[in-house]
Amino acid sequence: MSEVLKLVRENIQKLTPYSSARHEFKGNADVFLDANENPFETGLNRYPDPLQNTLKIKLSGIKKTDPSTLFLGNGSDEAIDLLIRVFCEPKEDHIMIVPPTYGMYKVCADISDVDVRQVKLLTDFQLDVDGILKESDQHSKILFICSPNNPTGNLMAKEDLERLLQDFPGILVIDEAYIDFCPDSSMVSKLSEYPKLVVLQTLSKAWGMAAIRLGIAIASPEIITLLNAVKPPYNINKLTQQQALSFLDKEDEMQDFVRRSVEQRVKLSREMSGLNYVLIVYPSDANFLLVKMKDPSFIFHSLIDQGIVVRDRSRQPLCEGCLRITVGTDKENDFLIETLKSLQ
Ligand SMILES: Cc1ncc(COP(=O)(O)O)c(C=O)c1O
C-alpha cells in the first residue's frame, strides 16, 4: 500500500464512487436517453462534463502540470472540505493549522467532527517547524499552511516547507490562493518529489473570477483520484466551465490586474505608514495589507461610517491591533487614504 493510501480513511479506501451516466459512456452517440435530462434544447439542458476535461487541459498549460494532477472544486473551499473527508476519521484523527491563518480549515474540520491542533506562527509570521513536528503524531492527517498567508500576507520560507514535506507524517496542503501575486514562489514544481503534497490555488483572486467559484487542487494523480471519488458528480456547473475557459485565454489581463494591484499595494503601504496612529504596515506578497494600529476598533467603525468595509483581525493570535485591508481600485484606495488621513 502506498504512503498516501495508508493515510486514507478505511471507508474511503473501500468506497465505490457514484458513477454518472455521462461518465460511464465512452463511445460516440447522437441520442442521449441515459440521464433523465430534458431533451428540449435550452443550451443548459444537459449535465456538464463531470471531470471537466477541456478545462483541465487548458489549465494544465497555464499551471505547467499534467491534467491528471488537477482537481477542480466549487472554490478551493470545496477541496479543503473533501481533503478532510478523505483523510480524517472523525473523533480519531486531527488536522493541524498554524494560526493566524485562513478560517475555513478549522470550520471544515469542525463540521466533520475532526479535531484541530494549533501551533501558532512565530512572531515574524514564519512557521514553527519544530513545534509542528513535536505536536504531530500518526493521527495528524493533514497540515494546512497558507502561503502567502491570509491574513499576514507573507510567504512561508521554502526551506521550512521542504523540511515539513520531508518530516510531517501526514498530507501537507499548501494553500496558494494568492500565489499569482508572486508566481515564482509556487510549490507546484515540487509535486513530483513529494507524493504527500497538495497545492491549492484558485481563480477567485488574481484572475478576478470569485463569482464563478472555481478552485484548484494540484497533487499526485493518486490524491486527485481520491478527491474525484468523493466529490459530488457534477460539482462544476457548465456556466462556470465555459466562463473559466474564456477567461483563461486572457492571461495578459490577469497579469495586468496583478501589476496594478501590486503597484497600488506599494502606494497604500507607503501612505498608511505615514499615519500617526499606524504602528506597523506588514510587508505583503498578496493583494491585501495587514496593518497594526493604536485603536483598530475606532478606525474600523469610522471607516464603516464612510461606507468602507475592511476586515478586523485584531482578535486573531499575533494580530492584536490589526486590520486587514484589501487593495482596491485606484479610486477606492484614494478614498480610503483620504478617509484614513481624516481620522488622525
Ligand atoms: C487562503 C485562502 N484559501 C482559500 C480561499 C477560498 O478561495 P475560493 O474562493 O477558491 O473558495 C480564500 C479566500 O479568501 C483564502 O484566503
Do the Cβ atoms of 137 and 185 come closer than 8 Å? no
Pick the CATH number of 252-342 from 3.90.1150.10, 3.30.470.10, 3.40.50.280, 2.60.120.620: 3.90.1150.10
Measure the CA–CA gap between 65 and 70, rounded to whole angstroms: 8
Best of 59, 101, 104 for a ligand 1 pocket test (most atoms within 8 Å of beta carbon): 104
Cell matching residue 341: 488621513
Cell matching residue 82: 473533501
Measure the CA–CA gap between 325 and 12, rounded to whole angstroms: 40
- Note the CATH architecture for domain 5-20+47-249: 3-Layer(aba) Sandwich (3.40)
pLDDT at 21: 77
Task: Name beta bridge partners: 171.
Answer: 142
Cell matching residue 213: 467559484
CB 326 near ligand 1, within 6 Å? no
Measure the CA–CA gap between 26 and 13, rounded to whole angstroms: 25
Cell matching residue 261: 494591484
| Position in ligand 1 atom list of the atom nearest CA 210 | 9
Best of 71, 203, 204, 327 for a ligand 1 pocket test (most atoms within 8 Å of beta carbon): 204
Residues of the chain with CATH 3.40.640.10: 5-20+47-249
**Beta-strand pair 94-97/140-146:** parallel
**pLDDT beneath 50, residues of the chain:** none
Residues of the chain with CATH 3.90.1150.10: 252-342
CB 207 near ligand 1, within 6 Å? no
Residue position matching grid coordinates 496583478: 258
What angle, rounded to 10 degrees, do the helices at 76-87 and 221-230 form? Answer: 90
Best of 74, 102, 327 for a ligand 1 pocket test (most atoms within 8 Å of beta carbon): 102
The backbone torsions φ and ψ at residue 171, rounded to the nearest 5 degrees and listed phi first, read -80, 135
pLDDT at 61: 96
CB 175 near ligand 1, within 6 Å? yes
